[in-house]
């Protein structure tokens, strides 16, 4: 087991996140000793999407309006079509992600979450993966899209889908356990 004691992870999400893409990495990070905080523009609670129906409601720990990237060591962006579409239209959410990318802190995004990364304008020359339907959008944003279960390009870790969560979680925990907190 990796030791991530004291490492603080921001999890940025909106209503309609792909439930397993938030809960599985969150659990892996917490089991390694990290502290996770769910941040959202939505007050109090956010609902996940689980299969073909609404899933669990999770408590929002901090509002995007007051969240400060300087208080966190890394950022996790779960997927979900609704989640990514709502967040990419939220100026504060886009700026929050942009600050993480520019600072060199780890940003981990899975499935449809890279749609939010596109909005930062910082993907030119980066290699990443995502749900396959985002390939053209990511290429148009200047990224090099590859069809692999998980890709790490410097501080950016991306993955395709729930079936890749084990690999995604392993790379994420490994990368964060190597950084100094």
Enzyme catalytic residues:
111-112
3-state secondary structure of 22: helix
Beta bridge partners of 3: none
SS (H, E, C) the chain: CCCCCCCEEEEECCCCEEHHHHHHHHHHHHHCCCEEEEEECCCCEEEEEECCEEEEEEECCEECCCCCHHHCCEEEECCCHHHHHHHHCCHHHHHHHHHHHHHCCEEEEECCCHHHHHHHCCCCCCEECCCHHHHHHHHHCCCEECCCCEEEECCEEEECCHHHHHHHHHHHHHHHHHCCC
Cβ atoms 111, 21 nearer than 8 A: yes
Give the Cα separation of 57 and 48 in Å (integer): 6
């Amino acid at each position: 087991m990796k030791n991530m004691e004291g490492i603080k992870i921001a999890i940025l999400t909106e209503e309609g996140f792909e439930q397993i893409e938030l809960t599985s990495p969150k659990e892996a990070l917490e089991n390694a000793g990290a502290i996770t905080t769910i941040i959202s523009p939505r007050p109090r609670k956010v609902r996940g999407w689980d299969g073909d129906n609404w899933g669990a409601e999770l408590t929002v720990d901090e509002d995007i309006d007051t969240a400060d990237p300087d208080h966190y060591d890394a950022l996790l962006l779960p997927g979900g079509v609704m989640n990514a579409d709502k967040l990419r239209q939220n100026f504060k959410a886009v700026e929050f992600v942009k600050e993480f990318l520019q600072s060199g802190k780890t940003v981990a995004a899975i499935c449809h979450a890279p749609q939010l990364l596109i909005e930062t304008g910082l993907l030119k020359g980066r290699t990443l993966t995502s749900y396959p339907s985002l390939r053209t959008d990511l290429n148009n944003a200047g990224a090099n899209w590859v069809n692999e279960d998980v890709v790490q390009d410097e501080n950016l870790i991306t993955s395709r889908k729930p079936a890749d969560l084990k690999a995604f979680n392993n790379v994420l925990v490994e990368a964060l356990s190597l950084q100094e907190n």
